[in-house]
Amino acid sequence: MPYTLHYHPRVAEDDLPGIPANLRRRLARSIESRLTTGPARYGTPLKGSLRGYWKLRVGDYRVVFKIVGSEVWILAILHRKAVYEVVTTRPGWRP
């Protein structure tokens, strides 16, 4: 079952400009190949206050997303040190 990707507006504005170009390409390939085909298979569920969200690990970067039916809502793409703090400021977003 193919999944449709929806990105939080702040991903393009805040997250991606700080990531080197070679890593952006690697992230894009991983997102397109994994999250559009089987997000639950490739992702890991998060715990605690982020229950209901998932993460995709790509090197030192994390893609935090939520699976809603046949859609994947991507909330953040950031370095592992900062991603979870930022995600908590973006709850309740709907595409």
Q: What is the mean pLDDT of residues 31-59?
A: 95
- Model confidence at 80: pLDDT above 80: yes
CATH number of the domain where residue 81 is located: 3.30.2310.20
Question: What is the pLDDT, as a whole number, of residue 94?
Answer: 76
Which residue is associated with the tokens 């700080």?
A: 18
Q: Is residue 15 part of a domain?
A: yes
Q: Is residue 93 part of a domain?
A: no
Q: Is residue 13 part of a domain?
A: yes
Q: Is residue 34 part of a domain?
A: yes
Question: What is the pLDDT, as a whole number, of residue 68?
Answer: 95
Q: Is residue 94 part of a domain?
A: no
Q: How many domains does the chain have?
A: 1
Residue 74: domain span: 4-87
Render the burial of 57-70: b for 16+ CB within 10 Å, e for the rest.
Answer: ebeebbbbbbbeee
Q: Is residue 95 part of a domain?
A: no
Instruction: Please state, rounded to an integer, the average pLDDT across all residues of the chain.
Output: 93
- Model confidence at 93: pLDDT above 80: no
The lowest-confidence range among 4-18, 58-72, 81-95 is 81-95
Q: Is residue 80 part of a domain?
A: yes
The beta strands (E) that lie in 8-87 are given as 44-45, 54-58, 61-68, 71-79
Question: What is the pLDDT, as a whole number, of residue 46?
Answer: 95
| Cβ contacts of 34 within 8 Å, gap of 6 or more | 41, 42, 43, 56
